A and B are shown apart, each in its own frame.
Chain A
Amino acid sequence: MYARRLAVCLGTLAALTAAGGAQAEWRDGGEVYDKVCRYCHEANVGPVLKGRALPEEYVRRVVRMGNRAMPAFRPTEIDDATLADVARRINGSEALARE
């Protein structure tokens, strides 16, 4: 996803220099969910999203607009295509297993 992909490892003790400075890109919506959404929405901070068949349009809109304390996310943070994938995955997700 990140600069690391193009990073050139010059040996374990040499400086790691990203060739030309690789830009971060999300692998897919699953990675966004794991690295952003999950921190609140599976941690008693925000409501659980999985298993509720939340409409994709609703998810996309809340991510862009924010909602009360939920921050808004810009296309520079999560691009439209990846956000659509996040929304699709949330919409089709199974409910979280209860402990």
Chain B
Amino acid sequence: MLKIGKILLYAAAVVLALLPVVPVALLFLLAFSEHPVFIEGFTLKNFEFLKTGVLFPEHPVYSKLYPNVYTVMVNTFLLALGNMLLVVLVASMAAYVISRYSFKGRSALLGAFLVIHGVPASVLLIALYYMLRAMGLLNTLAGVILVKMSVDLPLGVWVLKGFYDGIPWDTEIAALVDGTSRFGAFFRVMLPLVSPGLFAVGLFSFLSGWGEYVFVYTFIQSSTNWTFSLLIQSLFGEMGGINLALVAALSIVYLIPVLVIFLVGEKYLVRVTIGGVKG
């Protein structure tokens, strides 16, 4: 009796573990498939675009509709990197002050960060569109990066505050007694100690910028500023029924950094996930 229960439990766990993995595995099979819409055989021909970045070399007119894959790759990377650097920089400073000093409005500020994080930024799209337009940042990657980092910032502050809270005061006081300034203590003692936190928030913001769709779709018009998400969505919309394997191959290229970060930093991402609460 007990044995059967145990076997059923393990079977359920295995099924549960397979559920999210199967779709991704299917994507890989499709990307290497000889048939354009069904999974059949194995070939590398779907990845031909990697040579020149041109998606449809045999159809020059059609190709012109889409930006070069490498341009898109650079744009996506800039967005992810810009988001990561800004979030880590700004959040690491703010979280330090919030964790270490008591000042008027401290809990109000923390509360505001939490509330802001709870309400998705999608509700602000109209106003943000208006503002970016007024600032001349519409249709630029810089505009998207600014919006994106402001959305990811509250989570970064919350998570990093947790990491700073976990470091005993003694460490900092020791540094101060040894004669360094408060800023020196922050920069040379505290930052290295919270580096797992910086790493976690950095990975998370990089992924968040890398995968961003709505802001790019809404704020960017010209295809030279496209990111992977726009290119894939556009191709899937127009070619979904014709050459799905090509779209899948492009998706695999798009996925490589995500999978690497997932494998390397899964336990860091978990900490960000619990720190910031969003479904």
B and A form one assembly = no
> B residues near A, CB below 8 A?
none
